[in-house]
Every structure is written in C-alpha cells, then in structure tokens.
Amino acid sequence: MNNKRIIIAIDGHSSCGKSTFAKAIAARLGYIFIDTGAMYRAVALYALEHGAIVSGIVDEDRVVAMLGDINIDFRFNPERGASDIYVNGDLVEGKIRTIEVSNYVSAVSSIQQVREKLVKMQQQMGERKGIVMDGRDIGTVVFPEAELKIYMTADAHVRAERRFKELTAKGDKVTIEEIYENVVSRDNADMSRAISPLRKADDAIVLDNSHMSVEEQMAWFDKEYQRVLGC
Ligand code: DC
C-alpha cells in the first residue's frame, strides 16, 4: 500500500455529482474533502442577507466591502461524513443550497476580490496535502500542481433531473424547467466569465457520469488513482 498523500482536484459543470464523488473518495482515502462551491454560496448568502443584492442586482462594491466581515470555516460533521460550512460561527449548510442562492452565486463568484480571498483560503487548506477539493478552478488556478485532476461532466438534462429530485425531496417548490434553465445558465456563466473560467486543465482526465452509478464512478477512480501512484 502506497502511503503517499496527494492533492485531488475535481472540476466540472454544476450539478454533475462532483461533491458526492469527491466526498466518497475522501472517505475511502481518509482525506479531507472541501466543497469550494459551498464557499462561494456562503458569500452569496451573506450578500443576500446583508443588502448587497437588491432587485435581483448584485452590487459588486458592497460585496467587496463586506468581504472583511465574512469569516468562513468548516467543521467536520460525523453524521454526514463531511464538513459543514459556517459563516461567522453560524451553521449555513442548509441555507446555501436554495434556488435563490443558486441564482446569484455565479455573479458573486465572478468578482475578482471574492475569488482572491477564497482561493487563498483553499490553498492554505491544501498545504498538508491529503485533500480532495471540488469546484471550477481547482486544477487550473488553486492547485495547478495537483497530482490527480478530474474534469467531471454529465448531460444537462440528466443533471437537472438529479437536482430536481434533490430539491423536491427537501420540500422545495421548484419546476424541472427552472432547474434546467439554472443549470444551463450557470454552465454558460462559469465558462464565459473573465476571471478563472471553468475549463478542463490540459492534464485533467474526463469523467462523464451521465449513465454511471456511484459504484461505477468509484471503480473508475480506483484505477486512475492506482495509475497516478504508480501501483
Ligand atoms: O458547485 P456549486 O454549484 O455549489 O458552485 C456554486 C457556484 O460557485 C457555481 O455557479 C460556480 C461557483 N464556483 C466557482 O466559481 N469556483 C469554484 N471553485 C467553485 C464554485
């Protein structure tokens, strides 16, 4: 057994199961798992709750002015087998995954100062390696030297269906059409923004999980992991 600890960077489209996959890998390897989307969502939630998003418009200057007041930390939750996100000591895990936050998070995440602050935090979290991080710019910007980079995708209809099931199971009143629209518009926004757009790193390997179970994805991962470790 090889005990080398590495950095695993997972990027890809919205709602393609990156976090589920990343969490399962981290549990298997005894690594830390960080969902960086949760960090951008936490900033968007704070902006919504503190008047920086008015009449559907994100006031970038106000968001930037608030950044110093936003302290984000993760605390491991053994029940979930993953870390919950806290803002200024408040648990916000349940509040960041609403359609309202989803509708503003792309705009908030395209603000340069927001990215600078969160990327710095993410790099510090990875200093000791043994980490699985998922997001949009992990293999390209946060950890360009990551030993294993995975670029995940899935058909947009399949992704909308999955997210729809997740949200309706929680009791959210949403339609499949609005979810599909949100998924596609976030893809476009993430891929076309000026700073750190979503793109596949040249050395990333692609995982299209449109028709794969979690078990099949894990079997695929095991092979790639062994390859990287040279086993
Ligand atoms: O993974 P997610 O859907 O929870 O991410 C929420 C948003 O945050 C997504 O629309 C893009 C943005 N994001 C980003 O710009 N960079 C990251 N590393 C992670 C997420």
Residue 113: how many other CB atoms lie within 10 Å: 12
Per-residue pLDDT, 81: 82
Q: Greater confidence, 149 or 230?
A: 149
52 DSSP assignment? S
Query: Whole-model pTM?
Result: 0.92
What ranges make up the beta strands (E) of 111-161? Answer: 131-135, 148-153
Q: Tokens 């603000």 identify what position?
A: 111
Dihedral sign from CA coordinates of 171, 174, 180, 181? negative
Per-residue pLDDT, 2: 65
Residue 140 tokens read as: 């390209």
Residue 175: pLDDT over 80: yes
Contact between 110 and 100 (Cβ < 8 Å): no
Distance 17 CA to ligand 1 centre (A): 13
Question: CA-to-CA distance for 190 and 22, rounded, in angstroms?
Answer: 20
Per-residue pLDDT, 99: 86
Domain residue limits, the chain = 7-220
The alpha carbon torsion through 103, 92, 122, 23 (nearest 10 deg) reads: -90
* In the chain, % of residues over pLDDT 70: 99
What residue type is assigned to position 202 of the chain?
D
Q: What is the mean pLDDT of residues 49-53?
A: 97
Please work out, in degrees rounded to the nearest 5, the angle formed at the alpha carbon of residue 15 by the alpha carbons of 9 and 17.
55
Calculate Rg over the CA atoms of the chain: 17
Distance 183 CA to ligand 1 centre (A): 12
Q: What is the mean pLDDT of residues 12-33?
A: 94
C-beta of 135 in contact with ligand 1 (< 6 A) = yes
Q: Tokens 């995440």 identify what position?
A: 109
What CATH architecture is 7-220? 3-Layer(aba) Sandwich (3.40)
Per-residue pLDDT, 155: 97
Q: What is the pLDDT of residues 52-103, one digit of tens each?
A: 999 999 999 999 999 999 999 999 998 888 899 999 999 999 999 988 998 8
Residue 11: how many other CB atoms lie within 10 Å: 27
Backbone angles phi and psi of 50, in degrees to 5: -120, 25
Q: Ligand 1 atom closest to Cα of 122?
A: 18
Distance 224 CA to ligand 1 centre (A): 25
